[in-house]
């Protein structure tokens, strides 16, 4: 099987790394890829927004399966174009991708299908936002409706927080049309968890649990980012809670999309808040999470190519079982100074070769490139993800942070408390 992965981040590097391990895969291409991905697959310099070029690349390369990583091309209809060309693709159609590309759509979907989520209001003006926030005594979450690379969410606990969110969201240079609608919802206090399911339009299989760390700095302080680290499994999700999540969220969502005439095929990602042992949907995504994918795939013992191919061709069923390592895995993101705001790039990254052969550890590249001399340099906000596996979360953390001490680039920073909730449970 010849597979083409679309994307250039840490998620796509993890996908390429895992897909390459499958005996079913004869050739693996990634468009456009990055410096690290080029060690695991053949990178083709086609950008994710050049959809006609991607279709032509898949056709000319006799690709058997296209795996779409990022949300933007999915929302713009890349799956639809590939399907129209007779090319097998893993990823939802543009209509189904509205679960992520429009938070207003997702909230309404939850209401119509009785999926638990926080009470909300949809706003078009600053006055609307202020009114909705005031009704919640300024304890609220304010979100851009459209895609904002994980940065369009503001957790507010005061009037000053609300005013700051409004300034950002109504600044056309920051969010543009993504903030043409704004959602204000109740602030839920609890513990977040990421639940991902692979669906084929009719059936689904749920992946093991993981937990992301959105805030930029230790102790969950600072602005929201695309994710500063993740670990798997997440002990907050007990077997009984997982059954509740499946019954009240995953199953109704898959059945709801089908009954609405937009069957969902791809990754259904439910970002949840666990409040008094009850799951509430914070958001839906329609692709693998980044960085949750890195520790999840580090622990997956099943054949990823077989799984994604079965979903894309509609051959999943409830008897499809996945095998998981009993080990834990932790991913720590090394980011560029200033991220998620303004940052510099082009800095050489040292220490990569030294850690390449370390057992139970993988450096997944997110924002990297080659300079004119062939050195690996930083090229994005989130630069690399140090992902380690261990018998416990603590041993995986120890290996990840030991590895980080050997890698450096100018102005880099990272959180030092990834997996702190699991460590507090002595997990």
**What's the CATH code of the domain at 147?**
3.30.1490.20
For 33, the domain range is: 2-93
317 falls within a domain = no
Q: Beta strands 182-186 and 211-212: pairing type?
A: unpaired
- Looking at the structure, tell me whether residues 54 and 166 fall in a common domain: no
Task: Give the residues across from 378 on adjacent strands.
Answer: 368
Q: Beta strands 42-43 and 27-32: pairing type?
A: parallel
Asked if 156 and 140 touch (Cβ cutoff 8 Å), the reply is yes
CA torsion sign for 142, 164, 72, 95 is positive
- What is the pLDDT averaged over residues 238-259? 98
Instruction: Say yes or no to pLDDT of 62 above 70.
Output: yes
Q: Which of 141, 171, 186 is the last residue of a domain?
A: 186
Instruction: Say yes or no to pLDDT of 231 above 90.
Output: yes
Position with higher pLDDT, 74 vs 317: 74
Q: For residues 185 and 142, give the distance between their C-alpha atoms in angstroms, rounded to a whole number.
A: 7
What are the helix (H) ranges across 7-85? 10-19, 51-60, 71-75, 78-84
Asked if 104 and 183 touch (Cβ cutoff 8 Å), the reply is yes
Number of domains in the chain: 4
Q: For residues 263 and 197, give the distance between their C-alpha atoms in angstroms, rounded to a whole number.
A: 14
| Three-class secondary structure of residue 108 per DSSP | helix
263-299 residue pLDDT tens: 999 999 999 999 999 999 999 999 999 999 999 999 9
323 falls within a domain = no
Rounded to the nearest integer, the mean pLDDT of the chain is 96
Task: Kindly report the number of other CB atoms within 10 A of residue 318's CB atom.
Answer: 9
- Looking at the structure, tell me whether residues 196 and 179 fall in a common domain: no
Cα separations in angstroms, 205 against 24, 184, 231, 287, 291: 20, 32, 20, 14, 20
């Amino acid at each position: 099987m010849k597979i083409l992965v679309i994307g250039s981040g840490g998620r796509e590097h993890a996908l390429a790394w895992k897909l390459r391990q499958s005996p079913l895969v004869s050739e693996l291409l990634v468009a456009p890829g990055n410096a690290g991905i080029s060690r695991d697959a053949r990178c083709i310099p086609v950008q994710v927004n050049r959809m006609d070029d991607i279709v032509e690349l898949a056709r000319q390369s006799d690709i058997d399966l296209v795996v779409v990583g990022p949300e933007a091309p999915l929302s713009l209809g890349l799956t639809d174009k590939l399907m129209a060309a007779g090319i097998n693709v893993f990823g939802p159609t543009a209509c189904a991708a509205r679960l992520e590309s429009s938070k207003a759509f997702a909230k309404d979907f939850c209401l119509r299908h009785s999926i638990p989520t926080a009470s909300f209001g949809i706003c078009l003006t600053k006055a609307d936002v202020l009114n909705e926030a005031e009704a919640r005594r300024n304890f609220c979450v304010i979100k851009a409706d459209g895609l904002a690379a994980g940065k369009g969410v503001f957790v507010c606990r005061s009037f000053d927080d609300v005013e700051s969110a409004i300034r950002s969201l109504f600044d056309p240079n920051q969010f543009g049309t993504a903030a043409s609608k704004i959602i204000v919802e109740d602030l839920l206090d609890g513990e977040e968890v990421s639940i991902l399911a692979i669906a084929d339009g009719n059936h689904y299989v749920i992946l093991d649990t993981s937990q992301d760390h959105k805030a930029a700095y230790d102790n969950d302080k600072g602005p929201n980012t695309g994710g500063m680290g993740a670990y798997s499994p997440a002990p907050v999700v007990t077997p009984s809670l997982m059954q509740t999540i499946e019954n009240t969220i995953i199953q109704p969502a898959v059945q709801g999309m089908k009954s609405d005439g937009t069957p969902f095929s791809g990754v259904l990602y439910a970002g949840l808040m666990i409040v008094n042992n009850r799951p509430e949907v914070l958001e839906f995504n329609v692709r693998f999470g980044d960085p949750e994918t890195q520790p999840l795939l580090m622990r997956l013992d099943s054949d990823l190519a077989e799984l994604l191919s079965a979903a894309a061709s509609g051959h999943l069923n409830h008897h499809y079982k996945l095998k998981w390592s009993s080990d834990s895995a932790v991913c720590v993101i090394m980011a560029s100074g200033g991220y998620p705001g303004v940052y510099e790039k082009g800095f050489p990254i040292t220490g990569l070769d030294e850690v390449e052969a370390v057992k139970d550890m993988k450096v997944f590249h997110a924002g990297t490139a080659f300079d004119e001399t062939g050195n690996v340099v930083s090229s994005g906000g989130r630069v690399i993800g140090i992902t380690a596996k261990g018998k416990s979360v603590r041993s995986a953390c120890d290996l990840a942070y030991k590895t980080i001490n050997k890698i450096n680039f100018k102005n880099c920073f990272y959180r030092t408390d990834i997996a702190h909730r699991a460590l507090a449970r002595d997990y």
